[in-house]
Structure 1
Amino acid sequence: MEQLIVGSLLSALATGVGALPILFFKQVTHRWRDILLAFTAGIMVAACTFSLIPQAMKSDSLLAVCLGVLTGTVMLTLLESIIPHIDLEHSRANISMDTQSMLILSAITLHNIPEGLSVGVSYSSEHSGLGGLIAFAIGLQNAPEGFLVALFLINQRVSRFKAFLLATLTGSVEIVASLTGYYLTSFVEGLVPYGLSFAAGAMLFIVYKELIPESHGDGHERSATFSFIIGLLAMICLITWFG
């Protein structure tokens, strides 16, 4: 339980850590942002394909894995249908700045719920090292997200400190979600493989729908591709050494 609390806290607070540079720098180059996003994508793909899905397949049937992955994907799709993704730097929505800021914060907060569930479910698995690895992967994904949210808010004339606080708060929902996921899978028999597969589906959706397109949008595809491969290999090494 202590490991769950520490892991969920670190994963959630990574959003604030990512937003921290906004107190000192107005922007980061597109190249480094794309490299970081692609590296995170590689980490998350490795976590799904070499940890979450194999562990789920050991625990239950292939049908449970397929249903879980599809459920995670559908859940993220529904969230984006309700609150669509908006380009944080080049928004084209024809709405007021105040409303737009609230929409961005709401969207990011809702998207963090499945990520928190992923952490909680991973800690409830019989695989002792899985929770820490998934918390690490989600935390890496949260860091650039926190920076981009804070940068967007500053562009909307929100003070730097307030932008930092708001970006950090968007990640706090993951703590509650991770506890919920942990208790659900701990007390409901047979739910763990579905939960692990759900986490994989949600993470793969984020990678393919968000991270990879954003890392290839500014002409740095080659750097982003190499960064993705390095992230993938780095996570495989972590799984081998600590998983």
Structure 2
Amino acid sequence: MSAGLSARLERISTDGRYLIVPMDHGLTIGAVNGLKDLEGTVESITSGGADAVLTQKGVANRVHPHKNGSGYIVHMNGSTSIGPDEDDKRVTCSIEEAIRAGADAVSFHINVGSNYEPSQIEALAELTGEADRYGIPVLAMAYARGPGIQGDEPEYLGHAVRLAEELGADVVKTAYSGDTESFQHVCESTTLPIVIAGGSPGTDAETVEMVRGAMDAGAAGISMGRSIFQHEDPEAITRAVSAVIHDDMDAEDALAAAGLTVEA
């Protein structure tokens, strides 16, 4: 590992643990709550302990003044929820553009098992090769999605994260399988740090318990979007998640430490 790659990985993590908040959803679903005042949301979640925030390149100037020293990741492909097929992610950025936007790392979404898997494999492989020349870490968002694919099935998730390692990624994000025991297989399928996606927002307890379950299985953290940036108190939920990831608290203690009510 080059000195540059190692240094940049440290900028988006803390002691090898990751609390990343993706906010690239403006491209996908528009200016939803939590993204209209992007500056205020970035300020809140980084004050709450986020290691890094993630956006598309065009809003970098809205992120940097408010990230309180946290890392910055530029996402490099995307699609919209109103387009012909949301699984058809297209390249939106180059490595040089990401560097000019101040990125400490880049991310790329691939749908393993989808009709677009072949072109996305080619694009991710090309990206990791180029990123390596610049010493830029690549976070592969590797999901199991496609005809006949169950997106939370451990075998499919394990295949997705292994594919990311085989193609040269440095960190991999995937869906949570639903419980600690089944997610252990996913974590054992790669030597890369695994961060889990947040999925659809649930209660505070459900969110933090999911993080606890993933960490117990061997995950290195989370890359959680809407459950954090659309929360009524983004700073507080970030603190609760951070307490699990960085302080190894159980879910109930983490919620209490963040001042969030524990549901009966």
TM-score range, shorter chain: under 0.3
Higher helix share: 1
Larger relative contact order, structure 1 or 2 (CA cutoff 8 Å, min sep 6): 1
TM-score (norm 1): 0.28
TM-score (norm 2): 0.26
Higher strand share: 2
